[in-house]
Amino acid sequence: MTELETWQLVNQAETQTQLADVIAKLTDSEGMIQGRARKHSAAEMIIGLSFFMADECASNVLTREFGIRQQAIYLKHVSN
């Protein structure tokens, strides 16, 4: 998948569940997702997404890579 296709996939997510599915799709063989500077556990990021959407933690539990954090912020504000 190209970088453009990855960005498009993230931006097409219209729900928290869809964004979580995208995060899962972007994992490597070890279950990690590449952030700006280091790799993160995709499973932990999906859990962090649910905490963020429930106002239980800040958005920085999500990577900015491919617009994941921005899409989560957008979805949170659109759903309220």
The domain of 42 spans: 3-79
User: Which tens digit of pLDDT belongs to each residue from 15-52?
Assistant: 999 999 999 999 999 999 988 889 999 999 999 999 99
- The pLDDT value recorded for residue 36 is 85
What is the Cα–Cα distance from 78 to 29, expressed in whole angstroms?
Answer: 33
- Please give the tally of structural domains in the chain: 1
Question: In this predicted structure, what is the pLDDT of residue 79?
Answer: 80
User: Which residue type, as a one-letter code, is found at position 3?
Assistant: E
- The pTM of the full predicted model, rounded to 2 decimals, is 0.93
Extract the tokens encoding 69.
């954090």
Q: Please, what is the average pLDDT of the chain?
A: 94
Check pLDDT > 80 for residue 73.
yes
Strand intervals (E) in the chain? 32-34, 39-41
Q: Is 45 exposed, middle or buried (0-12, 13-18, 19+ CB in 10 A)?
A: buried
